Amino acid sequence: MNVATEFDYDVIVAGGGPAGATASTLLAQQGHKVLLIDRDQHPRFHIGESMLPMSEPVFKRLGVDWQKGQYQPKHGAEFIDEAEGLRIRFPLASQHQPYQVERAKFDHMMLENAASQGVDVHQMEVVKETQCDESGVFIRTDKTNYSARYLIDATGRSAMMGRRNQSIQRIDNLGKFSFYTHYRSVNADAANSLFETGDVKILIVDIGWIWIIPMSGRRLSVGLVVQKDIALSARKPMLFEKYLSESALLMAALQGAEREFDVKAEADFSFVNQSRHGLRYACCGDAAGFLDPVFSSGVFLAVKTAEAVADCLHIALLEGTEGNVDLHVAGDADYALGFNSMRMFVERFYHARLVHNLFSVSERSDALKEDILGLLGGDLWTGSNDFQKKLLNSRQAQQLGIAD
């Protein structure tokens, strides 16, 4: 048992989304004294419902049983271009069953699980200032001050440390902003197949793409991600209405359905945090980097990066080496492999007519289809995915300075 003595805590985790809940639970399981601070009161709304199968091993370590939440099982991802009459489905047949989850419920479950495993969870408290130096970590919140041996930044796209260090670098050519809402009472016959397969549907449109995610209770999450440059004045919910009304599939499925809340918007898309870790701190989840959500990689990368940070920090806390500024350097290659693989896959989606060219070729090549399925499922660290290798060695990856 390793308990902070001169400090209030061994570790303070800022942010109680999937990344913060994961990192804090794994550290508390090892006997470290952990404080998690979230500015919201859970359950709180969060967008991002579609999960990847390879998240499940992390949930198992946490002791989270996502089947208990009665979420909608997800069996595949289908990419549809209604204008060109093209549909390609990728069945996610894996040993791990993924789900489409309602995030308010799911994130709350993860946070309660953290608390039940010894994490001190403070909600409705905002981390305002941080100081990480040789002597320790000192935090000021809107309520009080705390000290610790280490800080984990899991503040999502607020990216607390990245913005303070001015190390956030935007990725401009992927999705730029999004409009979305949820629908309930989705009872049209046309919607039946959505709930039967549980697939996430990606509809390709000229300015980006639309997601349709079936959720339990015959509800749908529907959102538009805009990749093309659109004048600020045109970034209005009307744009969302227009694109929805142009989709025959959506119009049929949504007949008689009710909107659960007014259309919401999210901007500040896709970025890299150039200083993901430093003296006595590390960032995980979106705070380390965020990618356009076309391949539903957000929560998966959040829990995987949190797991990596927690496992490395656990050893350092035992050895008393958490003040080593290079603590997480050894994890950089694995992080880059995961994040950059997804990044190059998304780049390909937007810039190489992926659905039209590559995906249709994959219909004829079993090996390629397997490789794409590996990426869509989050199986990123096998070393045997030829398509992934091609993405990471492409000319574009070289131009971006992220080639393998």
Tell me which stretch binds ligand FAD (CB under 6 A): 15-23, 69-77, 315-323, 355-363.
Answer: 15-23
In the bound state with ligand FAD, the residue whose beta carbon lies nearer, of 42 and 394, is 42
Q: Is residue 14 at the binding interface for ligand FAD, with CB under 6 A as the rule?
A: yes
Do residues 49 and 72 touch, judged by C-beta distance below 8 A?
no
* Residue nearer to ligand FAD on the CB measure, 136 or 285: 285
Residue type, 180: Y
Are the C-beta atoms of 91 and 76 separated by less than 8 Å? Answer: yes
Which is closer to ligand FAD, CB of 291 or CB of 317? 291
The torsion angles phi and psi of 53, rounded to 5 degrees, stand at -55, -35
200: three-class secondary structure by DSSP: strand
Report if residue 299 touches ligand FAD, rule: CB under 6 A. Answer: yes
Q: Is 34 exposed, middle or buried (0-12, 13-18, 19+ CB in 10 A)?
A: buried
Phi then psi for residue 391, to 5 deg, are -60, -45
We find the least distance from the C-beta atom of residue 361 to ligand FAD, in angstroms, to be: 26
* Out of 11, 17, 34, 208, the residue judged to bind ligand FAD by CB under 6 A: 17
Gap between the Cα atoms of 248 and 258, Å rounded: 18
User: Does 296 interact with ligand FAD (rule: CB under 6 A)?
Assistant: yes
Within 10 angstroms of residue 45's Cβ, the number of other Cβ atoms is 13
Tokens of 10: 């061994």
Question: Stretches 42-50, 227-235, 238-246, 309-317: which one binds ligand FAD (CB under 6 A)?
Answer: 42-50
The DSSP call for residue 349 is: H
Main-chain dihedrals φ then ψ at residue 316, nearest 5 degrees? -65, -40
Instruction: Please write down the HEC assignment for all residues of 44-106.
Output: CCCCCCECCHHHHHHHHHHCCCHHHHCCEECCEEEEEECCCCEEEEEECCCCCCCEECCHHHH
CB 326 to ligand FAD: min, Å:
23
Task: Compute the distance between CA of residue 185 and CA of residue 208 in angstroms, rounded to an integer.
Answer: 27
- Per-residue binding letters, 199-238, with ligand FAD (x by CB under 6 A): ------------------------x---------------
Q: Which is nearer to ligand FAD, 263 or 394 (CB)?
A: 263
- For ligand FAD, which is the closer residue by CB, 146 or 394? 146
Q: Least distance in Å: CB of 77 to ligand FAD?
A: 10
Q: Which of residues 126-165 bind ligand FAD (CB under 6 A)?
A: 126-127, 154-156, 158, 160
- Beta carbon nearer to ligand FAD, 100 or 394: 100
Binding mask 90-129 for ligand FAD (x = CB under 6 A): ------------------------------------xx--
Residues that bind ligand FAD (CB under 6 A): 14-20, 37-40, 46-51, 126-127, 154-156, 158, 160, 178, 180, 223, 266, 285-287, 293, 296, 298-300, 302
